[in-house]
């Protein structure tokens, strides 16, 4: 599951009012380089909740192989500014960093946890299972 996908998911359990962003509890993560497309990346940014992406980046940094700089290209995980600049479309360096995070970092195995209820959603083979039990709907 890419971080772009994570940015679109939320907990819809009955009674939950703050189910976003889901906390990432990785068991296995992977970096896989994909072709950079400046226009596509810039077009996706308005759909992204930037604050949630920053939180996701914090959780991804805690994954031990990534924290040690293993399994990543030289330089490791890129830094992002605390606030998305207004003129991001013209900043190729920032767009490349956003592309790296949104499209090249994958949660392969682990859990997504609701920040309010603690409900865990498994991620297996990059596929998040967001199905709720009957009593949670």
What mean pLDDT do residues 23-51 have? 98
Other CB atoms within a 10 A radius of the CB of residue 115 amount to 16
Report the percent of the chain where pLDDT is more than 90.
99
Q: Are 128 and 121 in contact (CB under 8 A)?
A: yes
- In sequence order, the β-bridge partners of residue 26 are 110
pLDDT tens figures, 110-125: 999 999 999 999 999 9
**The pLDDT of residue 69 is above 90:** no
What does residue 27 show for φ and ψ, rounded to 5 degrees? -105, -40
């Amino acid at each position: 599951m890419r971080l772009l996908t994570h940015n679109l998911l939320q907990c819809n359990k009955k009674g939950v009012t703050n189910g976003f962003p889901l906390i990432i509890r990785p068991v296995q993560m992977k970096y896989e380089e994909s072709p950079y497309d400046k226009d596509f990346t810039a077009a996706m940014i308005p759909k992204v909740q930037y604050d949630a992406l920053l939180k996701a980046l914090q959780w991804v940094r805690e994954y031990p192989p990534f924290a040690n700089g293993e399994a990543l290209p030289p330089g490791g995980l890129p830094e992002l500014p605390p606030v998305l600049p207004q003129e991001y479309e013209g900043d190729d360096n920032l767009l490349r960093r956003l592309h790296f995070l949104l499209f090249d970092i994958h949660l392969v195995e682990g859990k997504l946890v609701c920040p309010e209820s603690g409900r865990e959603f498994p991620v297996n083979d990059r596929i998040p299972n967001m199905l709720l039990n009957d009593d949670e709907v």
